Amino acid sequence: MKISYNWVREIAPVDWSADEMADRLTLAGTACETVIDLSAGFAKMVVGKVETCGPIEESDHLRHATVNVGEQSLNIICGAPNVAAGQLVAVALVGAVMPDGMKISRRKMFGIESEGMILSERELGLSDEHEGIIVLADGLEVGAPLSSIYGLNDYMLEFELTPNRPDSMSAIGIARDVAALAGCEMRRPEVSLTEEQEKTSDSIEVIIEDAEFCPRYTARIVKNVKIGPSPKWLRDKLAASGQTSINNVVDVTNYVMLEFGEPLHAFDLAQFASGKVVIKRAKSKEKFVTLDEVEREVDESVLMITNGSESLAAGGVMGGLHSSVTNATKDILLEAAYFDASLIRKSRRKLGLSTDSSARFERGVDPNLTVTAINRAAQLLVEVAGGSPLAGVVDNYPKSIEPLKVELRPARCHQIMGVKVESERIEEILVGLEMGVTRSDSGEALVVTVPTFRPDITREIDLIEEVTRIIGFDNIPTTKGYLAATDNRKSEAVEKQDDLVVTLRQTLLGIGFNEICGSGLADGRLLELIDPEKPQIEVANPISDEFGSMRNSLAYSLLNAARVNVTHQTTDLRLFELGNVYGAGIGDKSQAFPNVISADHERPCLGVLVTGQNQPDWRSSRSALDFYVLKGAIEALRAQGRLAKILISPEKLPVFQRGQGFVLQDRTGKEIGRIGNVDSAILKRFDIKQSVSLFELDVAALTGFIQREKNYQTLSKFPAADRDLSLVLNESTLVGKMLEGVKKVGGELVERVQVFDLFRGKQVPEGKKSVAISIRYRSAKKSLESSQVDGLQQKIIVYLKQEFKAEIREK
Amino acid sequence: MSVLSQIEELLSKASAELQSASSAADVEQVKVRFLGRKGELPAILKGVKDLAPEERKPVGAAANKARVSLEQQVNERLESFESSSSADFDFTLPGTPISVGRPHLLVRTMADIAEIFSSKGFLVANGPEVESDNYNFGSLNFPPDHPARDMQDTFYLREANGLPEGLLLRTHTSNVQVREFEKRTPPVKIVAPGKVFRHEAVSSRAYCVFHQVEGFQVGPNVTLGDLKGVLLAFCQEYFAEDIELRFRPSFFPFTEPSAEVDMSCLLCAGKGCSICKYDGWLEILGCGMIDPNVMKAVGYDPEVLSGYAFGMGVERIAMLKHRITDIRLFYENDLRFLRQF
Ligand SMILES: [Zn+2]
């Protein structure tokens, strides 16, 4: 909301500068965001008289004008259609700076040097009107500075008001805060009126069909007005409050709205030939043309002001085009109403229109202000449009809305603020805000009568807030009650999961994986490509398709991150994310493990992606960042997280290449994740032209598999014996299965088995692979004899020959 | 054999061994064997004191000459080995790359914030992102169809694919407030970091997803002064010791009185610069005293208890602290950005 600084000071006479006023109001919760100096900005701008104006041959729309600006005539090229000789216009001279920062300079076009600019309202920041130039009223002195017309000796205060403060949406409302802060008396405008004999009630009747949504409707008739421009004082005040002047009648309704906060509407009385104002719900699918010349469809959520048969205004939002005041209007019906706030909210949504009127009604105007406001408007119409008000108003107000009484205990105020405020000071503050204050019978509480312009104040705490904001937060001492001890135990399950997440993150960071953070919102089409079977949670009102769903796997975020990096030539990636995936019911606590900590429709997961190669080094060759790196990472996580064994089992999975996707299982065979090489069709959609491997693990499920603290195992004092073995195996032989077999046959004397070489090629027959393993033997009880080791080694060789058709290669 | 000839023999033996030594370690061994404290030359010299006085002098001189000669030979041999073994040792070659990952800046910032509050006895708690209207709005004193709801543009979720109706993406982590209150008996002190969603067009200043840390305390005598105290303590610990705060009364449905909090500009200390838009202040969080309606909704008696709540945007704080100018960088996950922190 914008309001004139001078206007506020007329009502609350303080000697604060505009900036000081803005700061003090802001620190009292009436946020004044900007202060615009209206006297500035018209430097090097003058009144000019257009002497000649003609077309330019080479241009289809530009015209060449000569403009007298007092001591000289200037050549100006102008694009506006309405320039004509004889007009008085606003001219920016060379060197002037426009509100948007543009500097006027000499410009040569079509062989003519343009020496200035003829201005439109928009160029001056006065309105959005840019169709034509401003044509000034006759009688102005040519060459006079423009600031004498537009330059107001005033400031525009622009407020960013919170929705709980309808009371401050007017000059009086702002002045009330100023007066309370400064401790001065308010000077409200005096409303007095000389009326005709004829009564308003003889000409018009007000029928409210829906009193729930229109609790009050006040009408008044002013006859014989002369429509015309407003006087300068009125235009200036409106301009300094961000309102464009339209005509004297409309300006008066806007003026009173800005002054009191009560939106008014002026109808052409001729539209009410029926003698009735009927307020009723619109019909379903009713068409209505609003003042802005747009036909809109309305329904029962919109309250219409009608003459019984025709809709003339959308109540509280905007008038209709056909009932508006025109130059031919003689008699006026003024409306001051009180509409239900939530109804106006619905209406303006339905209409897709937010107006100064709806903004006030939907926050809540004062129901007891209608008569004062309508009389004030009539008074001003007499003054600026020469109208004759009929006697009295027609005021349909079936159920009077009374001010609320709220008790405030100074002790409670102390308890909340942490500082004692004397009850006399509290009383002074509330009275300053125009509340009534008396003492309760016991004398312990203040009984506060809350005026109806403060619908936000219904409870003691609301009054404490008023006291706080007027005293100012700065005057409340800081204290250290925040150090008080509390019971902060987490449940065992939460503790376990939190610990696991930290361990997973720290381990992955330690082994070279970088953490990413996806937004959680995802493109549903890509999610479907990644896994067509998996249901998605869809956003009902997305900002775009790109953010239309919730991700149901971390693969989506990881692949997106991979795409971004690969695009920027960062092709070697180790990425991970610890975050939620979303799906209806996926957090169901009964479904999985006893210790799962997740919400109903989301689940914490770990996703890990690798692609490209290890960093090159001057003494070791590059190796791929692939599936096997992921297996190594899982093993590291398992060890660091004290997790029970994770098994890998082949299965056809949507996101992965056929035959290269696997389910990760816990010991019992339950699925806890998946791992594999990403399908090339999916990579193509993500613009990734290199192979990518990833795995996802369900963190919630893992939490159930943390092993209890382990017991110490004694260290063997005896030496180990290492034996290597070179094998030629069929391509189809799974090395992992073979290693398991070796351990089983070797028994407890086999301490570990490692694969240290694998190759195919010239020395190896077609369809075979050569695998070299190293076995370490050790006993906990004694030194092993070399004959005993050789015997075991032989047993293993026999086993490998029989079970895996292995050939032993001699060295 | 005379002592003098013993010395001579020892010298030639030692010289021969030094010449045949094949490494610096061999040389060191020879040195120890002949010159060490318990070596052969000192052993010979030990006998000198038994000699006749006139014999002592020539023996002493010969022994000394032998020691000097041997030491010189040892050093020459050691040098010869050193130069041959360090010739191919280039200490300027790059170290073997050992990859270490980096945490995401938002995760780190949230952890840093939570750590400060943890040190003051706050519990760190989490809550769901897919949330009901009640936990996100209703029980936080947002009446249905109230203009306050316009302050937080909301993503609503479609009732489809098994998802029940009436769910939305939380617009703040304040939902944790109600959820924790339901579980706990005061006094309580909790911080809740997490992801939140707002229906906002994406630009360099705004994203439809961001992170928040919500904090609150409820107890028998919790005051506005305590709220000011905890926020000042946090900002001074997290940003700088000399930070000042400014409280501007504001409106949030779930707190009353409410305020927006500005911090004196990190860069110009209040004088005005481009970071603070020449205001001297940076807006960093919102706060207030928990509204009695919120207390009542969870069965706390607002006559007996009071509490405060505050919420801060993690992206905003990270951007201020590291002078990041585009919020989208957090979600693009370009390693060139992520690995700077
Ligand atoms: Zn600054």
CB B83 within 8 A of CB B39: no
d(CA B340, CA A11): 56
Q: How confident is the model at residue A595 (pLDDT cuts 50, 70, 90)?
A: very low
Nearest alpha-carbon partner for A256 in A382, A387, A374: A374
Comparing A412 with A709, the larger pLDDT belongs to A412
What percent of chain A lies above the pLDDT cut of 70? 97
CB B335 within 8 A of CB A573: yes
CB A507 within 8 A of CB A699: no
What rounded mean pLDDT belongs to chain A? 90
> With an 8 Å Cβ cutoff, is A488 touching chain B?
yes
- B-interface mutation test, from A483, A486, A507, most B Cβ less than 10 A away: A486
Residues of chain A contacting B306 with CB distance shorter than 8 Å: 415-416
Residues with CB under 5 A from ligand 1 (ion): B 265, 267-268, 273, 275-276
Per DSSP, the residues of B168-183 read EE-SSTTHHHHHHHHH
Q: How confident is the model at residue B120 (pLDDT cuts 50, 70, 90)?
A: very high
Statement: residue A588 has pLDDT above 70:
no
Taking CB atoms within 8 Å and a gap of at least 24, the contacts of B31-35 are: B31/B70, B31/B74, B34/B10, B34/B70, B35/B67, B35/B70, B35/B71, B35/B74
C-alpha of residue B319 to centroid of ligand 1, in Å = 14
Statement: residue B43 has pLDDT above 90:
no
Mean pLDDT within B255-266: 94
Please give the helix or strand (H or E) that residue A567 lies within, else none: helix A554-567
d(CA A374, CA A334): 7
Statement: residue A369 has pLDDT above 70:
yes
Q: Which of B151, B222, B224 sits opposite A163 (nearest CB)?
A: B151
Statement: residue A596 has pLDDT above 50:
no
Residue B147: predicted pLDDT: 64
Mean pLDDT within A4-31: 95
Per DSSP, the residues of A384-448 read HH--EEPBS-EEE-SSPPPPEEEEE-HHHHHHHHSS---HHHHHHHHHHTT-EEEE-TTSSSEEE
Residue B265 Cα, gap to closest chain A Cα (Å): 17
Comparing A49 with A598, the larger pLDDT belongs to A49
Residues 6+ positions from A753 with CB-CB distance below 8 Å: A739, A742, A743, A746, A773, A774, A775, A776
Q: How confident is the model at residue B93 (pLDDT cuts 50, 70, 90)?
A: confident
Q: B223 and A417 in contact by Cβ < 8 A?
A: yes
> With an 8 Å Cβ cutoff, is A632 touching chain B?
no
Residues of chain A contacting B147 with CB distance shorter than 8 Å: 163, 341, 345, 362-363
Please give the helix or strand (H or E) that residue B131 lies within, else none: strand B130-132
Name the H helices within chain B. 3-20, 24-35, 40-46, 53-86, 105-119, 133-136, 175-183, 224-238, 292-297, 314-322, 329-332, 335-338
Closest B-chain CA to A616: B97
d(CA B283, CA A680): 47
Give Dmax (Cα) for chain A: 132
Q: How confident is the model at residue A590 (pLDDT cuts 50, 70, 90)?
A: very low
pLDDT tens per residue across span A298-347 = 888 899 999 998 999 998 999 888 888 888 899 999 999 999 998 898 88
Per DSSP, the residues of A582-615 read E-TTTT-TTTS-TT----TTEEEEEEEEEESBPP
Residues of chain A contacting B251 with CB distance shorter than 8 Å: 29, 162-165
Amino acid in the structure at residue B69: S
> With an 8 Å Cβ cutoff, is A576 touching chain B?
yes
End-to-end, the C-alpha distance of chain A in Å comes to 90
Residue A387: predicted pLDDT: 87
Residues listed for chain B: 341
d(CA B218, CA B292): 11
Mean pLDDT within A775-791: 93
C-alpha of residue B202 to centroid of ligand 1, in Å = 26
d(CA B56, CA B59): 5
Q: Which of A416, A479, A579 sits opposite B306 (nearest CB)?
A: A416
Instruction: Burial-class residue A602 by CB neighbours within 10 Å (0-12, 13-18, 19+).
Output: buried
CB B113 within 8 A of CB B194: no
Per DSSP, the residues of A343-398 read HHHHHHHHHT---HHHHHHHH---GGGHHHHHHHHHHHHHHHH--EEPBS-EEE-S
pLDDT tens per residue across span B181-233 = 988 899 999 999 999 999 988 999 899 999 999 999 999 999 999 999 999 99
Contacts with B, A 355-394, CB within 8 Å: 362-363
C-alpha of residue A601 to centroid of ligand 1, in Å = 43
Instruction: Burial-class residue A811 by CB neighbours within 10 Å (0-12, 13-18, 19+).
Output: exposed
Q: A31 and B248 in contact by Cβ < 8 A?
A: yes
Residues of chain A contacting B130 with CB distance shorter than 8 Å: 537, 550, 582, 599-602
CA distances to A65, A94, A117, A200 from A102, rounded to whole Å, are: 21, 11, 12, 53
Q: B101 and A538 in contact by Cβ < 8 A?
A: no
pTM over 0.90: no
* Residue A30 token pair: 């009436």
Q: How confident is the model at residue A129 (pLDDT cuts 50, 70, 90)?
A: low
CA distances to A302, A318, A739 from A350, rounded to whole Å, are: 8, 12, 71
Residue A128: predicted pLDDT: 58
d(CA A488, CA B184): 10
Instruction: Burial-class residue A147 by CB neighbours within 10 Å (0-12, 13-18, 19+).
Output: middle
Chains A and B form CB pairs within 8 A to the count of 272
Residue A130: predicted pLDDT: 62
CA A769 to chain centre: 60
Helix (H, G, I), strand (E, B) or coil at A46: strand
Residue B57 Cα, gap to closest chain A Cα (Å): 58
Residues of chain B contacting A512 with CB distance shorter than 8 Å: 98-101
Residue B22: predicted pLDDT: 83
CB A73 within 8 A of CB A66: yes
Mean pLDDT within A571-576: 97
Contacts with B, A 718-747, CB within 8 Å: none
Closest B-chain CA to A504: B103
Residues 6+ positions from B56 with CB-CB distance below 8 Å: B48, B49
> With an 8 Å Cβ cutoff, is A346 touching chain B?
yes
As a 3-state breakdown, chain B gives helix, strand, coil percent values, each rounded to 5, of: 45, 20, 35
Residue A151: predicted pLDDT: 64
Statement: residue A259 has pLDDT above 90:
yes
CB B99 within 8 A of CB A574: yes
Residue A592: predicted pLDDT: 42
CB B224 within 8 A of CB A417: yes
- Read off the DSSP letter of residue B196: E
Per DSSP, the residues of A454-494 read -TT--SHHHHHHHHHHHH-GGGSPP--GGG-----PPPHHH
d(CA A161, CA A168): 8
Residues listed for chain A: 811
pLDDT tens per residue across span A507-558 = 999 999 999 999 999 999 999 999 998 999 999 999 999 999 999 999 999 9
> Phi, psi at residue A10, to the nearest 5°?
-65, -35
Residue B94: predicted pLDDT: 86
Q: A618 and B161 in contact by Cβ < 8 A?
A: no
Statement: residue A733 has pLDDT above 80:
yes
Q: B195 and A514 in contact by Cβ < 8 A?
A: no
Residue A80: predicted pLDDT: 82
Residues 6+ positions from A759 with CB-CB distance below 8 Å: A769, A770
C-alpha of residue B131 to centroid of ligand 1, in Å = 38
Nearest alpha-carbon partner for A206 in A129, A104, A276: A276
- Read off the DSSP letter of residue A170: S
Residues 6+ positions from B87 with CB-CB distance below 8 Å: none
C-alpha of residue B264 to centroid of ligand 1, in Å = 8
Residue A197: predicted pLDDT: 92
Please give the helix or strand (H or E) that residue A740 lies within, else none: helix A735-746
The phi-psi region of residue A10 (left if phi > 0; otherwise alpha if psi is between -120 and 50; otherwise beta) is alpha
Q: Which of B120, B202, B289 sits opposite A482 (nearest CB)?
A: B120
Residues of chain B contacting A345 with CB distance shorter than 8 Å: 145, 147
Comparing A164 with A206, the larger pLDDT belongs to A206
CB A431 within 8 A of CB A346: no
C-alpha of residue A163 to centroid of ligand 1, in Å = 30
Angle at Cα A252 formed by Cα A248 and Cα A258, nearest 5°?
140
d(CA A394, CA A41): 46
Bridge-based pairing state of the strands A73-78 and A88-93: unpaired
CA distances to A67, A131, A140, A143, A145 from A83, rounded to whole Å, are: 11, 11, 17, 18, 20
